Structure 1
Amino acid sequence: MKIYAVLVTYNKHLSDCSSFCSALKEPDVQLLVVDNSTDESIHNQEEARQAGAWFLSMNGNQGLSKAYNAAFDYLKTTTGDWVVLLDDDTQIPDQYWMQLRKETPNAVLLPVVRTMKGKMISPAEMKHDIPRSVVSPSTISDITGINSGMAVPKQLTDTYRYNDHLFLDFIDHQFIKDLKQNGVDIRILPAELVQSFSADGLEKQSALKRLEIQKKDLYTYYAANPWKAWYLIMKRKIRLAVQLRKPEVLLHG
């Protein structure tokens, strides 16, 4: 079996990415690092080369959709079974790779992804085109999920693309929706990943900048139903105002 793992990084050294170290341990996994970094002090290309990974620079932060699409284009001339999408802040256990090798590449596979506190964030249930967390994957009737750990049959990456009008948020939900509309099966991979989140998400300026990206992406995704975008943005503002203890966040934008 031949597996390609795509790791998109942003202003982070590869040695600090747990998913980078996990993929390197697997003899049948070829790692492709796609670097969206804007910090010129980070030199991931040499570290990737020394580790035997392929490297693709986006020459700045072009967004996650364009990074994944660039990876798919890069891999077009290769043959293999799976393309696995990895986040730089996700712990990938050995069990994940063991389970993936047992699968036939005829469906997109979503592992169970939990936060460090144990909350399941993927897969999730789509209700009225809004992703909602569930307690157990067995209760899901209309499945969606996040990019982290998603395994896509190699042949699908030769044809399908992420919507590059979306910069970061909901690119995974749009991708899965497009796949399902074309009859692609989405299944759950019996493996669990743990995803951590950067602490600087609770710094006001960085959080507000992140909120602006979310706002643009959500209004793009819900172009036909902008009230859904407004609803989700308000939910995020309220959560952020509570986390930061700054009620003025509710008035932002």
Structure 2
Amino acid sequence: MTMYAVLVVYNKPLALSSSFQSALKEPDVQLLVVDNSTDESLSNQEEARQAGAWFLSMDGNRGLSRAYNAAFDYLKTKAGDWVVLLDDDTTVPAAYWKQLRQQNPDAVLLPVVRTSEGRMISPAEMRHDIPHPAHSWDSIEHITGINSGMAIPKQVADSYRYDERLFLDFIDHQFLKDMRETGHRIRVLPADLKQDFSAERPDRATCRQRLRIQKKDLAVYYGRRSWKACFLIMKRKLRLAYQVRSLDVLWW
């Protein structure tokens, strides 16, 4: 079995990425690093080369969808079974790779992803085209999830193009929505990953920039159904107001 892991990094040294270290430990996993960084002081290309990983520079932050498309284009001529998407802040245990090796590449696989506090964030349930947390992964009717640890059959990756109007948010939900609509199966891989969300330790400037990106992406995803985008943005603002202890977030 041949597996490729795609790791998109942004302004973070590879040496500090737990998912980078995890993939390197697996001899049958070829790692492809796609660098969206704007910090020119990083030496990620040399670090990747020394580790035996492939490296693609996006020459700045071009967005996650463009990074994934660049990775899929790079891998298209190479034979393989799986393309695994990794975030730079995800802890991927060896058990994940062991279980993946036992699966046939006949469905998109979503691992169980939890926050550092143990809350399950993926898979989730899509109701009325809005993602909702699920209490148990085995009772989800309309499944969705996040990119971290998502395993995509190579033949699916070879034929898919991400919507590059989406910069960061809802790229995963759009992909899984497309999979459902085209009849591809989506299954849960019962392996736990831990996600370290930087958004759980926010500063005001980062929160404001992140909210701008989310507004644009949700406007693209929902199109004329703008009330759904507004609903989700307001939920996000309320959560941010609580996190930064300031109501002026509601007017951002």
2:163 aligned partner: 163
Q: Which amino acid aligns with 2:21?
A: C
Structure 1: gaps spanning 5 or more residues: none
2:146 aligned partner: 146
Q: In structure 2, what is the Cα distance between the partners aligned to 1:30 and 1:42?
A: 22
1:7 aligned partner: 7
Q: Which amino acid aligns with 1:73?
A: D
TM-score by length of 1: 0.98
Residues 220 and 199 (structure 1 numbering): CA distance in 2 closer, same or farther, change over 3 Å? Answer: closer
Q: In structure 1, what is the Cα distance between the partners aligned to 2:226 and 2:201?
A: 26
2:129 aligned partner: 129
Q: In structure 2, what is the Cα distance between the partners aligned to 1:201 and 1:243?
A: 8
1:63 aligned partner: 63
1:178 aligned partner: 178
Q: CA deviation at 1:179?
A: 1.2
2:80 counterpart of 1:88: no
**Contact 1:8 1:33 (C-alpha < 8 Å) held by counterparts:** yes
Residues 200 and 128 (structure 1 numbering): CA distance in 2 closer, same or farther, change over 3 Å? Answer: closer
Structure 2: gaps spanning 5 or more residues: none
SS in 1 for 2:41: coil
Task: Note the alpha carbon deviations across 1:128-165, whole angstroms, 9 max, x for none.
Answer: 00000011001200000000000000011110111111
Q: CA deviation at 1:224?
A: 2.5
2:110 aligned partner: 110
Residues 200 and 180 (structure 1 numbering): CA distance in 2 closer, same or farther, change over 3 Å? Answer: closer
SS in 1 for 2:189: strand
Task: Note the alpha carbon deviations across 1:184-226, whole angstroms, 9 max, x for none.
Answer: 0000001010000226851101100100000110111010200
Structure 1 runs, 4 residues or longer, greater than 3 Å off: none
2:239 counterpart of 1:223: no
SS in 2 for 1:157: helix
Task: Note the alpha carbon deviations across 1:74-100, whole angstroms, 9 max, x for none.
Answer: 001100000000000000001100000
**Contact 1:201 1:207 (C-alpha < 8 Å) held by counterparts:** no
1:79 aligned partner: 79
Q: In structure 2, what is the Cα distance between the partners aligned to 1:84 and 1:199?
A: 23
CA-based RMSD of the aligned residues comes to 0.9
Q: Which amino acid aligns with 2:34?
A: V
Q: In structure 2, what is the Cα distance between the partners aligned to 1:103 and 1:163?
A: 28
Q: In structure 1, what is the Cα distance between the partners aligned to 2:145 and 2:36?
A: 22
Q: In structure 1, what is the Cα distance between the partners aligned to 2:75 and 2:234?
A: 39
**Contact 1:81 1:105 (C-alpha < 8 Å) held by counterparts:** yes
Q: In structure 1, what is the Cα distance between the partners aligned to 2:195 and 2:161?
A: 24
SS in 2 for 1:83: strand
Q: In structure 1, what is the Cα distance between the partners aligned to 2:48 and 2:130?
A: 37
SS in 1 for 2:166: coil
Q: Which amino acid aligns with 2:108?
A: V
Identity level (%): 67
Q: In structure 2, what is the Cα distance between the partners aligned to 1:89 and 1:235?
A: 24
Q: Which amino acid aligns with 2:22?
A: S
1:97 aligned partner: 97
Q: In structure 1, what is the Cα distance between the partners aligned to 2:86 and 2:136?
A: 23
SS in 2 for 1:188: strand
